[in-house]
Amino acid sequence: MRDEPSADDRLHRIRHSLAHVMAQAVLKLRPGSKLGFGPAIDDGFYYDFILSSPLTADDFGAIEDEMRKIIAENQTFVREDLSVADGLARIDGMGEPYKREYAEDLVHKQGVSSISFYSNGPFLDMCEGPHVDRSGQLPKDGFKIRSLAGAYWRGDSKNAQMTRLYAYAYADKKALDARIKEAELAKERDHKKLGAELDIYVIDDEIGPGLALWLPNGTVVRDELEKLAKELEFKAGYVRVATPQISKVGLYYKTGHLPYYKQHMYPFMPLVEDGEVREEYVLRPMNCPHHHKVFAARKRSYRDLPLRLAEYGQVFRYEDSGAISGLLRVRSMCMNDAHLYVTPDQIKAEFLAVLEMHRKVYEVLGLESYKLRLSAWDPDDPKGKDKYVNDPEAWESSQKLIREAMADGSFTYEEVKGEAAFYGPKIDVQFKTVTGREETASTNQLDFAVPKRLGLTYVDSSGAEVAPYVIHRAPLGTHERFVAFLLEHYGGAFPTWLAPVQVRIIPVTEQFTGYAEKLCAELRGEMVRAEVDGSSDRMGKKIRDAATAKIPNTLVVGEREQAEATITLRRFGVKEQATMPFAEFQAKLRQAIATRASAFPT
C-alpha cells in the first residue's frame, strides 16, 4: 500500500497540479502560447509563458473559470517516463522550444537517463511531479490568480522575457482568505507605499535608479539608528574611523574581491595623463579593504587586540536593474559596518559578543520574527574554487569555532551549505517581514583569508608576526534595508524615540497659538522633535492630518489647558485621550525617549 502523503506534501501536490491546470486554461484562451516553468512556491504557484497575445488582470476571472471547469472534469494525472531519445522527440512534437532547451541541459549537464511527463486531459507537460491523482481532488475555491509580471527565461536577462502568472493556492477557502487578508495588510505596510506617504525617501530618475534621496523624515530615522549603534559600540569598546568612498582598483585584486565581484561594481574610472591610463579608481562596494588599511597604518601587537574599527560607511553596488526595489535592493547604501581584528583565542568571545549586540538591537526595536543561519562552505560545490578560498583546514576550523560560540551563547540556528562568503563562514540573520518575505537583515562573518592576502600582521607574545582573524559585522545592516524593514514592521507608526516628529501641538483656535508655541519651544530646548500645526484648517482636520502622518503624540491645547498649564494628549492608535499637566507629559516623554521605549509610559 502506498504511504499517505503528509499535509505539506499534499499541499505541494495541490499547488503543482493547479499550476498545470492554469497552464491548460491559458493555452485554451491563448492558443499557440509557449510554456516555461511552472513550480509550486510558498503560497501558491506560478507559470511562465510566451503568450500568443497579451493577458491583463481583466483576464484573471476567465482563466479561473476555465480552471474550475477542468477541476470539474476530474481529469486523471498520468505520469510517463521515456528514454532520452523518445523524450526529446516527444517535446519536439509538443512544439515547446523552452522545454526542449531545458531537457537538453538535464541530459548533458546532469546526465539524466530518462525524461518524465505528466498529462491531464489534453494537457501534456515535461515534469517530474508529484501531482494529485485527479483534478477533482483540487479545491475549486482554494486558489486565486493574484498578479502577472515579466520574467526572463531561466532568470537570465539575455534570454527571452516571458509573462509570469502568479496565483495563491491553499487546501481550502478559509486558508486562502486568510492569506489574501495577510496580503492586503502587506500592501498597506509595503515600505515603498509608506515611504512615499510619510516622506521618508524618494528615487529620482535624474539621480538614477537604486539611488535613494533621504528626505528630512527619513534622515531622522537614520540618525536615530546611528545613535543607537554608536552608543552600543562605544560601550563595547569600538573606535570609530572615517574612510573614503573610492579607492584604486588594485586594492580589490589584492583582497580577492576582483575579478569575482566585478559584475556588482560600478565601472572603473581611469585617470588618463598624456593619453595613457595611469591609474584606475572605483567606487567601493564594501568597507573592509579600507578598514584593513587602517589596521595596517602602524605596527600592531597582540596587546592592541582585539581592535574594533567601526564606521557607518557608504558603499556602491551595481545591482541589475531588474532586481532594484525600493530601499531593499539599491545601488548605494550606508552600512553599519565594523571589523574586529582578533587573535585565535579571542574569536569565540568576540563573535559571541557581536551576536549579543545583534540580540540587543532587535530587543530595542521589538523585532522578534527572525532566525539565525550558519552560512557554511560547501566542499562539494563544483564551483568551489571560484567561490571560496581554497583552504579546507581553515574552513573546518573556522566553522567549528562558530558552532562552539553559538552553543556557548545558547543560540539556535540552521546550517546551510554553499552560502558562505568567499573568505569565511558567517551567521546571517533572516527576517520574515510582515509582508511575507524572508530577507537577510544583518550578518556576522569570520574572515581567515583576506588578512593574509593583504599581509596584515601583529606581533604575538613570542615575538612572531602572525595574521589576525577578522570578524565582519553589521547588526543594523544597511540604512536602506533596515529602514525598509522597520517601516513595514511598525506600519510607519514609529515609537516616540524613533519617530521623525515626536510631538505635534494643535491649538484649538488661533487664540492659543502662543501657548502652543511656548510649549513647542520648551520641548525643542530639550532636543525633542516638536512642531505646531498653525494652519488655518479646522481642528478636526488637523487631528486627522496628525493621524495620517502617524505622529505618536498629538497635544491639543485650548482655553482650559492654557489656564491650567496642561495639555490633552492623543496617542496614535489609542482611542482614549488624557489631560495632564504639561510637566507630567514632559517627564513621561523624557523617559520614553531615554529608554527607547516601544510604548509610552502610563
* CA atoms of 539 and 557, how far apart (whole Å): 11
Residue 124 and residue 82 in contact, taking contact as beta carbons nearer than 8 Å = no
pLDDT for residue 1: 36
Query: Mind listing the pLDDT tens digit for each residue in 82-114?
Result: 999 999 999 999 999 999 999 999 998 888 999
Residue 409's pLDDT band, with cuts at 50, 70 and 90, is confident
pLDDT for residue 466: 96
What size, in residues, is the chain? Answer: 602
Residue 435's pLDDT band, with cuts at 50, 70 and 90, is low
pLDDT for residue 382: 64
Query: Mind listing the pLDDT tens digit for each residue in 453-480?
Result: 999 999 999 999 999 999 999 999 999 9
3-state secondary structure of 127: coil
Among candidates 532, 525, 531, 500, which has minimal Cα distance to 590? Answer: 525
Query: Mind listing the pLDDT tens digit for each residue in 129-172?
Result: 999 999 999 999 999 999 999 999 998 888 999 999 999 999 99
Kindly report the backbone phi and psi dihedral angles of residue 355, in degrees, each rounded to the nearest multiple of 5, phi listed first.
Answer: -65, -35
Q: Which residues have C-beta within 8 Å of that of residue 462, sequence separation ≥ 6?
A: none
- When pLDDT is averaged across residues 387-407 and rounded to a whole number, the result is 84
Q: What percent of the chain has pLDDT over 90?
A: 76
Query: Mind listing the pLDDT tens digit for each residue in 496-533?
Result: 999 999 999 999 999 999 999 999 999 999 999 999 99
Q: Where are the alpha helices (DSSP H) in 444-581?
A: 450-453, 479-490, 513-525, 539-548, 559-564
Average pLDDT of the residues of the chain? 92
pLDDT for residue 7: 60
Whether pLDDT at 259 is above 50: yes
pLDDT for residue 2: 42
pLDDT for residue 5: 54
Query: Mind listing the pLDDT tens digit for each residue in 354-386?
Result: 999 999 999 999 988 888 999 888 877 766 566
DSSP string, 259-300: TTTGGGSPPPEEEEETTEEEEEEEE-S-SHHHHHHHHTTS--
* CA atoms of 389 and 404, how far apart (whole Å): 22
pLDDT for residue 383: 60
* CA atoms of 212 and 196, how far apart (whole Å): 12
Residue 6's pLDDT band, with cuts at 50, 70 and 90, is low
Query: Exposed e or buried b for every residue in 2-22, given b needs 16+ CB within 10 A?
Result: eeeeeeeeebbbbbbbbbbbb
Q: What is the dihedral of CA 169, 175, 177, 182, to 10 degrees?
A: -90
Query: Mind listing the pLDDT tens digit for each residue in 41-84?
Result: 989 999 999 999 999 999 999 999 999 999 999 999 999 999 99
Q: What percent of the chain has pLDDT over 70?
A: 97
pLDDT for residue 431: 83
Q: For the sheet with 123-126, list strands across it.
A: 77-83, 114-120, 123-126
Range of weakest confidence among 241-255, 303-317, 375-389, 587-601:
375-389
Q: In DSSP terms, which residues pair with 273 in a beta bridge?
A: 276
Residue 392's pLDDT band, with cuts at 50, 70 and 90, is confident
Question: What Cα–Cα distance (Å) separates residue 266 from each residue in 316, 480, 519?
Answer: 7, 19, 50
3-state secondary structure of 574: coil
Kindly report the backbone phi and psi dihedral angles of residue 28, in degrees, each rounded to the nearest multiple of 5, phi listed first.
Answer: -70, -40
* CA atoms of 565 and 558, how far apart (whole Å): 10
Sketch out the chain's domains with CATH numbers. Answer: 7-179 (3.30.980.10), 201-490 (3.30.930.10), 503-594 (3.40.50.800)
Enter the pTM of the model.
0.81
Query: Mind listing the pLDDT tens digit for each residue in 327-348?
Result: 999 999 999 999 999 999 999 9
Whether pLDDT at 268 is above 80: yes
Residue 431 and residue 267 in contact, taking contact as beta carbons nearer than 8 Å = no
